[in-house]
Amino acid sequence: MSHIMDFKYFFTIFLFSMIIGGHLYVDGLGCNWGLQATHPLSPAIVVQLMKDNGFNKVKLFEADPGAMEALGRSGIQVMVGIPNDMLAGLANSVRAAEEWVQQNVSNYLSRRGVDIRYVAVGNEPFLKTYNNRFTQITYPALQNIQAALIKAGLGRDVKATVPLNADVYQSDSGLPSGGNFRTDIHDLMVSIVKFINDNGAPLTINIYPFLSLYADSHFPVDFAFFDGNASPVVDGSISYTNVFDANYDTLISALEKNGFSNIPIIIGEVGWPTDGDPNANRQLARRFNQGLLNRINQNRGTPKRPTLPDIYLFSLIDEDAKSIDPGNFERHWGVFYFDGTIKYPLDLGRGRNLTAAKGVRYLARQWCVMAPDADLLNPNLAQSINTACTYADCTSLGFGSSCGGLDARSNASYAFNMYYQTMNQRSGSCEQFHNLSIITRIDPGFRDSSCRYEIMIDTGRHAQRRNPGTSSAGKTMADSFVFWAVVLVLVVCGCLN
């Protein structure tokens, strides 16, 4: 009899290992997918990129039709966002909220099979830099979207939340235990948190240790990371060795003080950029994101909330058309470059490493550079570079950035090429710089350098593929396998008679 039991145990473990090996486990890894790029990857390729790298949750900043359709039946849970500039209309009209929910939630759920779990009403609307532009309209917009979800019969399955920047709370003592909501929006925050909690939704917070370092030159660098090398900050019986834990627990203290000790929390954005600032590079980004992934794989929370929240890495892919008002680093948050190539290695856990995007097509292998006989003293050079960088992304040329150490001629070549590529290598786009530039088929990049002379994606020749979730036949086979595997497990363990 013991041999039979041993066999049952072994067979049960074997079957479950087969299911897990088929990537049907849930590991709670989320990402943000931004779409502000001059040459975006096709949505189908991006969805496959997420699947290949184990991201089973995604946060979108708007209900982009291409992205939403590609996510249909993909197995990826979706948080779909509403941009801040739509809040006023939604706050002032229940009907507008109902139409938005119908078009962007009900439609994709029923017709496209998109697994929408959350609606993100606005994005960091209470940032001080907005000067109260969205302060009075965010809560009414949230209420109207929630009412629209309920009217559509989705109130139980789709939850409305508001992604908030960590500056909505503070600590007068400088310690996490002193946390409370910001004085100027305290009552509003209490109302919003109560409303979210009453409707069974999570509170969504964005935390950026990089910005702590960016804003304060005296900030202890090691405290921004998870590897325990920083001098601890002692708060009563708790010692904090990184700013993420301290920041998160400051929020927990604020929630506890205002009667919301148990509200679930989502980390809507957290990550580290790789360019555009001396502290934004691949080495530090890898250090931060690997530390974060290790914690996710260990299911380790913070001292005041040991349970790990859902976390959405910011971001999946670089976006070369984002506003750089906050800093040049804004275009370089991606774990992947704009074309889905890998920036740096990451151990995702369970023996998985990053996998690059597949099926990407590029423009011709040619570059626009400064002509060898062009004179650096040419009076048109400065204006030509300025023109190029007005219409293309030159943030990598900034101080302390990946191309910040180029000489004058290489600097001009980088600017000319970025313009040429951004203009899709269009005829005449390299020749417009007052005879200062030429087209070359010799890569002007530097070996063993992080400075990249790009060739853009050919957005007209992307490898188009069916929805990457699987074909209908493949999905049926996969579902059938899971069903019979579970049945066999139950039979073997004696759970079915």
Active site residue 454: no
> Given phi > 0 = left and psi -120 to 50 = alpha, else beta, which region is 254?
alpha
Examine the residue annotation and report whether 98 is marked as an active-site residue of this protein: no
Order the strands of the 29-33 sheet from edge to edge.
159-161, 115-121, 77-82, 57-60, 29-33, 310-313, 265-270, 203-206, 163-165
**Owner of token pair 């949505």:** 43
Which of the following is catalytic: 69, 98, 99, 269?
A: 269
Identified catalytic residue from 62, 98, 124, 319: 124
Instruction: Answer yes or no: are the C-beta atoms of 326 and 273 closer than 8 Å.
Output: no
Of 266, 245, 130, 265, residue with least CA distance to 179: 245
Query: What span, in angstroms and rounded, lies between the C-alpha atoms of 176 and 233?
Result: 10
Q: How many CA atoms lie within 13 A of 329 on its CB side?
A: 25
Identify whether the C-beta of residue 338 lies closer than 8 Å to the C-beta of residue 319. yes
Residues 225 and 396: their CA atoms lie apart, in Å, by 24
Q: How far apart are CA 209 and CA 224, in angstroms?
A: 5
Report the 10 Å Cβ neighbour count for 378.
16
Any idea what the Cα angle at residue 84 is, between residues 79 and 89, rounded to 5°?
105
Q: How far apart, in whole angstroms, are the C-alpha atoms of residue 33 and residue 357? A: 14
Among the listed residues 268, 269, 266, 243, the one whose alpha carbon sits nearest the alpha carbon of residue 174: 243
Token readout for 178 is 């002193």
Which active-site residues does the annotation give?
124, 269
